[in-house]
Structure 1
């Protein structure tokens, strides 16, 4: 096993392998009997090697094994690369335990619990103090990919989005615990959109829906209804293995669309299908959600929060909504009428554009 993993540039020790076996994550070797009086031999099965490889990819020295399980669970939901074997899923009991542990330990959930228990002015002040601490180093939503692209082409520098910050969930925790009117409507709508609770759909721009609700005087009651009973830990606890698998598929789909959206800012060559996809995302106001999904599904510490959002049918359906935007482009995402579909040529053009932008910026 150690030799096979080393061939993939994955370094593990015998102690690690035994630790994973004791935790019920790595199957023990099947024994094959050699015949009367000859004893038995251990059989190293291909599935066991793939499990060990995934564990090795996500394990870190000093990292709680439950984070490793969440990284493995995310990887198991992705389709295998050509020429590679599929990654088997972790045991459901280990996944469920890891999800509930990660959510319960998250600062945003602890803030939600504190906000719901706050009684009196002193306790509420303590909630705001805790929220300020949580937000102190939380990045906000980054610049639009069009702006990043323009800055790179002009040779300037643009601070790129740094990942799923705690700002949206922290603001949502305060509103859910102390009432929607504790936050300005603009802050609350931004938090709901970034966490997926205002998942766009139906082709109507999110901004239009919010503007109309504000005119009708129904905005705050509507927002209050959305956050009332907000409890991602309870949602995870109630989810079945099948429901969680569907949520994982939805989250990975959104992350994939988020990657295409963000890569436009990094000079990805444009095509009609990619332009149509960005238009659909911008019209629906889904950019923050997709960028959150992209980073969350590559960082185990954010997976539980993202999956709890994707248990909501409206969030899961957003991927289908974006897929419909591509229905008019059956040739594919990377096809341009003036240039036959050639993946190698496309990638070479992208690399050349990045090199030119780097040189210009220097």
Structure 2
């Protein structure tokens, strides 16, 4: 008599093997498995079983302990008692990491440039080097860094449409007791990604994955609008809601459309925050009002017609610097190649 093998065991082994390549650490494969298990299931496909949440937690801690973010936090805390030299080293190290990051141009500007046959603009205004002040505040303390510097750091995110002056006014009012108090202890607590994972419950980690995958989808739709994704009323409504909330710059900073396992770990911790959970729920409510994201008005072919419209828009792109930026049809391209 042959004992039957539990199908879940078989599928779990298959999923792990799919992500576990030779020479790769098993914990990275576990995170990819956890991410895949949170994705929607295609019709007729076998659902991906969940990995053991304890194993997921161990993998998250292992990855985060080796992350740049965690190393910066450790450096910031060590600088607290290291005098001026330690502070200089902290600012130099954090500046190297953050100075290399630049926000991409807004998708609406990218789309307009592509449709006009012009060069895609580069966002030269958003400079994230001032965010080094947030890192410094974790180790040196808010009083040492100062509210003016922190106002620059918060404004670098670009969220809510607030300027440096806006943030400085609010933080200054809080410091003088003239406005709502700021709990700077939250900054210290949330900077410790490893600690957050260790404190989070099993259900919280799974919920954070749901929030992250959902926000990544909404962010991806917004970004793809810049790459000529056919616009629909449902998409436009989602973008308006994001714009009304003033959170696209924040999503642009924290989200990744196709994250690596290490990025996935950091994004998961970010999405433990109630702010992102509430944002996800708000956008899901908007999606429920009009779910026809991939249906072009008047086109009864549905998703198929949507895909064809996108392919046609990309195919007929004007070519910068040629024919004055005028569009070139498929037939003309063929003739010019010959």
- Residue 45 of structure 1 and its aligned partner are, at CA, apart by 4.9
1:357 match = 317
Residue 218 (str. 1) matches residue 166 (str. 2): no
User: 1:358, 1:60 → 2: CA distance?
Assistant: 42
Residue 174 (str. 1) matches residue 129 (str. 2): no
Residues 328-356 of structure 1, C-alpha deviations (whole Å, 9 max, x = no match):
435x2234444446111111001111111
1:92 match = 53
2:101 match = 139
2:265 match = 304
Residue 343 (str. 1) matches residue 298 (str. 2): no
- Residue 68 of structure 1 and its aligned partner are, at CA, apart by 1.2
Equivalent residue for 2:238, pick from 262, 277, 281: 277
TM-score (norm 2): 0.78
Residues 185-210 of structure 1, C-alpha deviations (whole Å, 9 max, x = no match):
132343595xxxxxxxxxxxx23698
Equivalent residue for 2:197, pick from 229, 233, 236: 236
In structure 2, the CA distance between the partners of 1:233 and 1:276, relative to structure 1 (3 Å rule), is same
Residue 76 (str. 1) matches residue 37 (str. 2): yes
Equivalent residue for 1:207, pick from 158, 161, 166: 161
RMSD: 3.1
Residues 83-123 of structure 1, C-alpha deviations (whole Å, 9 max, x = no match):
21111111122101111111111121111112112121111
Q: Which runs of 5+ in 2 are unaligned?
A: 176-180, 323-338
Equivalent residue for 1:124, pick from 62, 87, 91: 87
In structure 2, the CA distance between the partners of 1:313 and 1:56, relative to structure 1 (3 Å rule), is same
Spell out the pairing of 1:4-43 with structure 2 (5 A cutoff). 34=1, 40=2, 43=4
Contact 1:148 1:266 in 2 (8 A): yes
1:252 match = 213
Residue 106 (str. 1) matches residue 67 (str. 2): yes
- Residue 259 of structure 1 and its aligned partner are, at CA, apart by 1.0
Residues 39-76 of structure 1, C-alpha deviations (whole Å, 9 max, x = no match):
x46x5554344324432443344332211111111111
User: 1:212, 1:169 → 2: CA distance?
Assistant: 16
In structure 2, the CA distance between the partners of 1:215 and 1:170, relative to structure 1 (3 Å rule), is closer
Q: Which runs of 5+ in 1 are unaligned?
A: 1-33, 35-39, 194-205
Q: Which is further off, 321-330 or 243-252?
A: 321-330
2:329 match = none
Q: Which is further off, 119-128 or 282-291?
A: 282-291
User: 1:103, 1:338 → 2: CA distance?
Assistant: 48
Residue 64 (str. 1) matches residue 25 (str. 2): yes
User: 1:117, 1:132 → 2: CA distance?
Assistant: 17
Residues 272-292 of structure 1, C-alpha deviations (whole Å, 9 max, x = no match):
111111111122222234345
Residue 190 (str. 1) matches residue 156 (str. 2): yes
Equivalent residue for 1:158, pick from 100, 117, 120: 120
Provide runs of 4+ in structure 1 moved above 6 Å: 166-170
Tell me how many residue pairs correspond in the alignment.
305
Contact 1:259 1:291 in 2 (8 A): no
- Residue 158 of structure 1 and its aligned partner are, at CA, apart by 2.5
Contact 1:264 1:270 in 2 (8 A): yes
1:50 match = 11
